[in-house]
Amino acid sequence: MNIPPNFDHLFLRVLSEIDLFRHLDRSQAGALLSEATKAVFHTGEVVYFEGEEGESMYVVVQGAFEVYRVSNGEHAELAHVLPGEHFGEIALIANQPRSATVRALQPSVALRFTKSALLARPDLAAPVLKNMARMLARRLSSADDEIILHRNRAREAEAAKEKMELEIARTRSRVRRMG
């Protein structure tokens, strides 16, 4: 079901606060939203699975979604996506399979944007893709910070282990000399 073109003023104002749509004027936001479809999900319903081909992205209007991967049989939660946030955007930029599985954590509603609908309007796609690139850059920077933090902790743990092993060796040496 397509969203009607006569959007409520408040609805457009709320959408303009979403980072993805920042810098779109009211007519651009209305035009973009006329390309969206409403997607309703029940609790536990999977939006898409890791490895599937992706041709659309979603902006959460209501509810919450979990983004996760399964690695070595283990469920690894990557993120929760809440109203005003989006997921599946990599499908609009890269031609690669979905990198994670997304499922609804509660009854949820999202706006679904297909790649073809968005790219059919370059005047709308350009600012949205620019915002998306900015958001992905922030996410990458944050991931880099996490990697550095984990590497530093691993180095600290390795140094503490080496120090402990050295102390154990010294203690054993003293015990042997005493005995």
| Structural domains of the chain sorted by starting position, each given as residue range(s) with its CATH number in brackets | 9-144 (2.60.120.10)
Q: Render pLDDT for 6-38 as a digit per residue (tens, 0 to 9).
A: 445 655 665 666 777 777 777 887 787 788 888
Which of the pair, 78 or 19, is modelled with greater confidence?
Answer: 78
| pLDDT score for 11 | 57
Query: Which residue's structure tokens are 């319903």?
Result: 45
Mean of pLDDT values over 38-59: 94
Q: Are 65 and 81 in contact (CB under 8 A)?
A: yes
- Using 50, 70 and 90 to split pLDDT, how confident is the model at 179? low
Helix (H) or strand (E) holding 5: none
Check whether 56 has a pLDDT greater than 60: yes
> Within 111-121, where are the H helices?
115-119
- Structural tokens at position 32: 């973009």
Distance CA 156, CA 104 (A): 38
**Across 101-128, average pLDDT:** 88
Element (H, E) at 106: none
For residue 20, CA distances in Å to 7, 58, 108, 141, 172 come to 18, 11, 19, 18, 62
Which residues touch 51 (CB under 8 Å, ≥6 apart)?
97, 98
What percentage of the chain has pLDDT greater than the value 90?
Answer: 26
Residue 154: is its pLDDT beyond 80?
A: no
